[in-house]
Amino acid sequence: MVKVAMDDDLLHKLRLIDTIRRLGTFYKFKDDEGNFDKSLTSDVKGLLELYEAAHLRVHGEDILEEAFGFTTTHLDLAKAIGTIEFPLSVLVSRARDRPICKCLPRLEARRFIDIYKDDGSHDKTFLKFAELDFNLLQNLHKEELSKISK
């Protein structure tokens, strides 16, 4: 049996997508014509989350294919007209360049620490913990590299 380590947030998203799909409730996101409801475009953070979730699609999942197209179009449009404020604008740009599910978690954590630091509403204790955790792991890797390179 093969065990795969998964980030809790990713696992939560996968379960949520699976639950919504199994319950047949994706129609709540669609209008009377079967298109994604345009009112979803006002919530850029929600669009970004749906965009990230749509990257977890597999062949034949038409609803997630549609969600991917819808979110890509509307995130790009919001970015082009400049309606996304910092720090969300940076997150959208990064997600469009490389979705979080295709990134190395520790490197993405380092990038997000910088964004979170510039967000005026950040929690100082949590930020300090994240920085210390990242630096400790980085030092551990440096020590291991120096040992194996001798």
pLDDT at 4: 45
Report how far apart, in Å, the C-alpha atoms of 99 and of each of 6, 11, 56, 61, 96 are: 16, 16, 10, 19, 6
CATH code at 1-103: 1.50.10.130
Q: What is the domain partition of the chain in residue ranges?
A: 1-103, 104-150
> Is 68 within 8 Å of 58 (Cβ atoms)?
no
Segments of the chain with pLDDT less than 50: 1-5
The pLDDT score that the predictor gives to residue 1 is 40
Q: Is 82 helix (H, G, I), strand (E, B) or coil?
A: coil
